Amino acid sequence: MRKARILIVDDAVVVRRLVTDVLAAEPGFEVVGAAANGRIALAKIPQVNPDLITLDMEMPEMDGLTTLREIRKLYPKLPVIMFSTLTSRGAAATLDALSFGANDYVTKPANVGSIMAGIQSVRSELVPRIRAFCPWCSDGEQAASPAVVAAKPVRAAPRIKVRPEIVAIGVSTGGPNALADLLPRLPADFPLPIVIVQHMPPLFTKHLATRLNSQCKFEVVEAAAGDVLRPGKALIAPGDFHMSLVKRGTQTVVHLDQSPPENSCRPSVDVLFRSVADLYGARTLGLILTGMGQDGLRGCEWIHDRGGRIVVQDEATSIVWGMPGAVSRAGLADAVVPLDRMAPAIEGALAITPPAIDTKILNHVASACV
């Protein structure tokens, strides 16, 4: 097993020490260097030959965004995970970093109460991401996990294809860029409501919605409790809240709650997808885009078992093929498509005409009503 070689870039000595200690204690990891700013980091990269870089956003001399741009010019395939602050400014800068080519981000521990809590925060957030981008550093048991199992054909089910009445999207790692590619391809008069769970903390989801709203031909907003679903409007679950849908009279509205995380996620794709499947049944179109982990797998089972359809992003265009891969391997996907074919897949589903009505049954009902 070859170890993942990691370069830590942060101007704070305390943070460099904490991250170094956490990663050095992990099997399969080797911290090969540290740098206090981007200029030093760029000089060290050819010396230590890292497999991955953790990169602070705010540093003297050369900040994270400037450093990231230079890294992408010189090392376009080198994975970079940004270290962000859980602030409005940090959220905006993180979205910029992702658009400039960062692979993912983690938020710095803040107000966690103790050094041990800070260590646990870094371990739980950063370590899985490094393993996702450096899969060779995992031990044999992890390497033989379902991630390498071939995709299955879609599970047999007596389903009649009907035109969907809602699009539900689940996405995580790589999601902001994936959504920025997909949603602007949809027309201004898109006829269905869209509901989205993107794994992000508070503040980040609001900035994401604002940014997507400026790029799309229809409205994109961070959801609020009681929001009414409308055609041609996309609602993004707010960070740290589960989003589900409920009926209020003739309207479908948003419900938010802070019940325990599912799949270590809040918001969780499973929570949203279950509620969508319960309300819309076979009229559900579920999309699973790039993301780490398996959130959305159980929700897709609910959609599938109620006759709805599921489209997942393919491995080649996913930053991490965890969530879509899990759904594909379970045989739940009706289609596995590249990101640039996702919009045509949605349009194809909308082109389905309702099942023909048996005229004999219609005449029988009419005569019974006379």
**What long-range pairs does 137-140 form, CB within 8 A, spacing at least 24?**
137/1, 137/2, 137/3, 137/4, 137/28, 137/29, 137/51, 138/1, 138/28, 139/1, 139/27, 139/28, 140/1
Measured CA to CA, the distance from residue 64 to residue 39 in angstroms comes to 10
Radius of gyration of the chain measured on its C-alpha atoms: 22
Handedness of CA 225, 226, 227, 230 (dihedral sign): positive
Report yes or no: 312 and 333 within 8 Å, Cβ to Cβ.
yes
Q: Which of 104, 121, 199, 268 is catalytic?
A: 199
Report yes or no: 320 and 293 within 8 Å, Cβ to Cβ.
no
Measured CA to CA, the distance from residue 353 to residue 174 in angstroms comes to 34
Q: Which of 138, 172, 318, 328 is catalytic?
A: 172
Tell me which residue of 362, 350, 327, 302 sits closest to 161, measured CA to CA.
350
295 is catalytic: yes
Measured CA to CA, the distance from residue 217 to residue 219 in angstroms comes to 7
Burial 84-103 (b: 16+ CB within 10 A, else e): bbbeeebbbbbbbbbebebb
172 is catalytic: yes
Q: What is the largest CA-CA distance in the chain?
A: 88
Calculate the alpha carbon distances from 259 to 77, 91, 289 in Å: 39, 24, 24
Tell me which residue of 239, 272, 223 sits closest to 94, measured CA to CA.
239
Residue 217 has which token pair? 């031909």
Q: Which of 11, 56, 295, 314 is catalytic?
A: 295
**DSSP of 276-337, one letter per residue?**
HHHHHGGGEEEEE-SBSS-TTHHHHHHHHHTT-EEEEE-TTT-S-BSHHHHHHHTT--SEEE
Which positions are annotated as active-site residues? 172, 199, 295
